[in-house]
Amino acid sequence: METARLIQSSVKPATGYSRNSKSQPAASHRKAITSPLDKPVQYVRGVGPHRARLLASLDIRTVGEMIEYFPFRHAEQGRPQAIETLQLNEPATIVGIVDSVYKRGGFGKPTVNIKLSDGTGTMRATWFNASFISDKLARGQVLRLFGTVGEYDGLAQLNNPSIEWLDPDDDPATWDYSKIVPVYRATKGLPSQQIARLIDTALAEALPAIKETLPQSICDNRRLLSRTEAIEQMHHPSSMSNLTPSRHRLAYEEFFMMQLAISLQRRWSTTYAKAPKLPTNNRIDQRIRQRFPFNLTDAQNRVINDITADIAAERPMTRLLQGDVGSGKTVVALYAALVAVANHRQCAILAPTEVLAAQHFNNIEKYLEGSQVNRCLLTGKTPKAQRDKMLQAVVDGKMNLIVGTQALLEQKVRFTSLGLVIVDEQHKFGVSQRATLRGKGNDKSKSHAHLVPHYLVMTATPIPRTLSMTVFGDLDVSIIDELPPGRQTIHTQIIKPKDETGAWLEVRRRIADGDQAYIVYPLVEESDVFDLKAATVEVDRVKRNSLPGARVGLMHGRMKKNEKQKVMHEFTKGKLDALVSTTVIEVGIDVPNATIMVIQHADRYGLSALHQLRGRVGRGSKPSICLLMTDSKGAIAGQRLNILCETNDGFRIAEEDLRIRGPGELLGTRQHGWPEFRVANLVEDVDILMQARDDAAQIVHQDPGLKSPQHADLKAELRRRFRDKVAFIDVG
């Protein structure tokens, strides 16, 4: 029963040796075990059901996962020093004899205090919440302790030191050694030291079962450690410098497996999947361009060339369109959509929220006024009768252009001749929906059933090259790197607390001129009551102190959709002077009359998030400004924000974000659908990534289906890692 519960709670992508254990109940599973690596941790000596639960909270369910739970750092325990030489606040190792043991505190959470001496002096060691240790200490024991030196009551003291029991009968000379200690990310009830002990037990059993996953030729060419050696050294490096080749090997492996999966997937979709050809000609091009009241920028034209070349071919397009906020992506998307319609194919445009879908639709309506293209907005809010009518028109093939939200992904929507799917802000969807969409294709009863649509993803989050190669690795990339002419650059300024009065005066001045303001306040979205209260308090504060007399609205993530829409509508119509909001306004909202944005506690956001936020202003003809309020005294926070004042280049900002905060922050943690890297680092290991990419491409080139016997293990490993994405591996 115990294990069954653990199994059900596992929703994360495959990162370990867990394929079998996650999909079968424990009892039948035990018979099916073939490798010690698949053994559930519960059956490792010293674990049991309680600790198995704690380990599961760290995503460790099998022995294989356990030995791949690597330390996040290693502590160097020097050789023992004499107690009389201890220095306050320095790390120290000592060996001493226990003189006395005191226990205080109640059940389960005793504090244990010992005194020990080594001939040069006496000191104390204290463990808090030390149920795991309280019964094991006794007078006369010889202990080796490691920790940071503190002081209490005139004696040196180590708090919660790591501990090792030495054999009093041993020659004391054998106690004089240094060692490297792995430090693991711990959890409540399971400190690093205990994790270390359990991992050691698991390692002893599992090491002989570890198989080399990389082809031998690659290990030789790239001079990689064997997998066994790398894993062992990660936990117990023979020296600190030996960590580097171990990390290198494991990072390479992670990159390589992912690149291989991506290459195979790509190869598969270009070989087997077919999309309708959607060619453009002069007549079509002219008719579409007439719809726009401006000339397209060079960047827009270049990107349109990429897209039209792609969709004219049978090979399904999978292209990522990146462009800063306001760079004119929607116009490009509409161009592509109209090419599809001109070819008598349907096009679906999807946005992450209803507000954005509606906005896309309204924009598109502006350009399509008087056109014969049949278009509709289909969201969860569309009234049933209307919705049914639209759906019918979609199935009949009469509806050409369908704008909507995820509601369009529901099974009920059946297209007749879907030729192109355009997704805005795709990373908010995640990869799994992408697969749904791709599989969607067309109504099987119709003649186009065998065709899949072309696929265009738009994002305003500039995605650094390393990320687009990995997370979005199966997409081609086009970039709009130029803003339409006459666009105002947004003047950005950092506001320290002493300058706040001036900042609010500027907001008031602009409101008096008839402009509107965004005031962004960092609330954890979908969070608790506390934040909600904070938001309300904040609105009151703004109304009363900062902008007296102004019409101030509030929008946050906990509001119902229609409430949000109502507030947004009032703001758009100019019925509100200022909108206090959380980052729910982050994407796509377009109110040209809003010319000033105040971002409170700006230091709490990622740079890319701030860059996107400020893109909400500067959308009209008036000069716009963004004020980043921060009371952070940290020099680093200041430096980070300075980049926003210096540049409007979203890519530079994103690179900086990636460097400082890592990919999870940039894309939203775990939203991209690939397992997180355990060892590899997308910023520091770019060279390794490039090597892995080349090697993977070469293998796919030689053996696109991984059919050769020498690749059998590799194929099995891919299946293990990407079990829900293996269709393309088996078909190839």
Which of the listed partners (Mg ion, ligand ADP, none) does 300 bind, with a CB threshold of 5 to 8 Å by partner kind?
ligand ADP
Instruction: Write down the least CB distance from residue 586 to ligand ADP, Å.
Output: 12
Are 330 and 304 in contact by the 8 Å Cβ rule? The answer is no
Positions of E strands within 73-232: 73-77, 91-104, 111-117, 122-127, 142-152, 155-159, 162-166, 179-183
Which of the listed partners (ligand ADP, Mg ion, none) does 331 bind, with a CB threshold of 5 to 8 Å by partner kind?
ligand ADP
> What span, in angstroms and rounded, lies between the C-alpha atoms of 702 and 697?
9
Residue 381 tokens read as 């809010």
Instruction: Write down the least CB distance from residue 278 to ligand ADP, Å.
Output: 21
Phi, psi of 232 (to 5 degrees): -65, -45
- CB nearer to ligand ADP: give 320 or 495: 320
**Rg of the Cα atoms in the chain:** 30
- CB nearer to ligand ADP: give 265 or 461: 461
- CB nearer to ligand ADP: give 80 or 323: 323
- CB nearer to ligand ADP: give 49 or 623: 623
CA 161 to chain centre: 35
- CB nearer to ligand ADP: give 300 or 691: 300
Residue 651 tokens read as 């890519």
| Residue 295: how many other CB atoms lie within 10 Å | 11
- CB nearer to ligand ADP: give 201 or 371: 371
Phi, psi of 513 (to 5 degrees): -75, -5
Instruction: Write down the least CB distance from residue 356 to ligand ADP, Å.
Output: 10
- CB nearer to ligand ADP: give 326 or 397: 326
Give just the sign of the alpha carbon dihedral 329, 423, 377, 520: negative
Instruction: Write down the least CB distance from residue 352 to ligand ADP, Å.
Output: 13
- CB nearer to Mg ion: give 93 or 330: 330
- CB nearer to Mg ion: give 156 or 377: 377
- CA within 13 Å, CB half, 557: 15
Are 239 and 672 in contact by the 8 Å Cβ rule? The answer is no
Instruction: Write down the least CB distance from residue 574 to ligand ADP, Å.
Output: 17
Instruction: Write the single-letter amino acid at 577.
Output: D
| Residue 180: how many other CB atoms lie within 10 Å | 17
What is each CA distance from 406 to 121, 414, 590, in whole angstroms?
A: 70, 14, 21
- CB nearer to ligand ADP: give 121 or 484: 484
Instruction: Write the single-letter amino acid at 713.
Output: D
Across the strands, what pairs with 598?
Answer: 519, 627
Among 282, 343, 280, 283, CA closest to 307: 280
Instruction: Write down the least CB distance from residue 710 to ligand ADP, Å.
Output: 48
Instruction: Write down the least CB distance from residue 362 to Mg ion, Å.
Output: 11
- CB nearer to Mg ion: give 323 or 606: 323
Which of the listed partners (Mg ion, ligand ADP, none) does 323 bind, with a CB threshold of 5 to 8 Å by partner kind?
ligand ADP
Instruction: Write down the least CB distance from residue 482 to ligand ADP, Å.
Output: 9
* Position of minimal CB gap to Mg ion: 330
Coil, strand or helix at 549: coil
Instruction: Write down the least CB distance from residue 348 to Mg ion, Å.
Output: 16
- CB nearer to ligand ADP: give 249 or 360: 360
Instruction: Write down the least CB distance from residue 421 to ligand ADP, Å.
Output: 17
Instruction: Write down the least CB distance from residue 648 to ligand ADP, Å.
Output: 14
| Residues at the interface with Mg ion (CB under 5 A) | 330
Buried b (16+ CB within 10 A) or exposed e, 363-391: bbeebbeebebbbbbbbeebeeeebeebb
N-to-C CA span, the chain? 39
Which of the listed partners (ligand ADP, Mg ion, none) does 182 bind, with a CB threshold of 5 to 8 Å by partner kind?
none
Are 441 and 455 in contact by the 8 Å Cβ rule? The answer is no
Coil, strand or helix at 682: coil
- CB nearer to Mg ion: give 330 or 478: 330
Instruction: Write down the least CB distance from residue 460 to ligand ADP, Å.
Output: 6
- CB nearer to ligand ADP: give 72 or 294: 294
Q: What is the 3-state secondary structure (H, E, C) of 449-500?
A: CCECCEEEEEECCCCCHHHHHHCCCCCEEEEECCCCCCCCCEEEEEECHHHH
- CB nearer to Mg ion: give 330 or 624: 330
Instruction: Write down the least CB distance from residue 586 to Mg ion, Å.
Output: 12
Which of the listed partners (ligand ADP, Mg ion, none) does 297 bind, with a CB threshold of 5 to 8 Å by partner kind?
ligand ADP
Which of the listed partners (Mg ion, ligand ADP, none) does 326 bind, with a CB threshold of 5 to 8 Å by partner kind?
ligand ADP
Which of the listed partners (Mg ion, ligand ADP, none) does 466 bind, with a CB threshold of 5 to 8 Å by partner kind?
none
> What span, in angstroms and rounded, lies between the C-alpha atoms of 474 and 255?
14
> What span, in angstroms and rounded, lies between the C-alpha atoms of 532 and 558?
8
| Residue 574: how many other CB atoms lie within 10 Å | 14
Residue 592 tokens read as 């040209």
| Residues at the interface with ligand ADP (CB under 6 A) | 294, 296-297, 300, 323, 325-331, 484
> What span, in angstroms and rounded, lies between the C-alpha atoms of 228 and 74?
19
Residue matched to tokens 């490798």:
35
What is the length of the chain?
732
Which of the listed partners (ligand ADP, Mg ion, none) does 294 bind, with a CB threshold of 5 to 8 Å by partner kind?
ligand ADP
Instruction: Write down the least CB distance from residue 484 to ligand ADP, Å.
Output: 3
Which of the listed partners (ligand ADP, Mg ion, none) does 650 bind, with a CB threshold of 5 to 8 Å by partner kind?
none
Which of the listed partners (ligand ADP, Mg ion, none) does 325 bind, with a CB threshold of 5 to 8 Å by partner kind?
ligand ADP
Instruction: Write the single-letter amino acid at 174.
Output: T
Instruction: Write down the least CB distance from residue 480 to ligand ADP, Å.
Output: 7
Instruction: Write down the least CB distance from residue 588 to ligand ADP, Å.
Output: 7
Ramachandran assignment for 250, one of left (phi > 0), alpha (psi -120 to 50 degrees), beta (any other): alpha
> What span, in angstroms and rounded, lies between the C-alpha atoms of 303 and 480?
7
Among 430, 415, 426, 400, CA closest to 329: 426
Residue 273 tokens read as 């999947």
> What span, in angstroms and rounded, lies between the C-alpha atoms of 162 and 93?
9
- CB nearer to Mg ion: give 330 or 600: 330
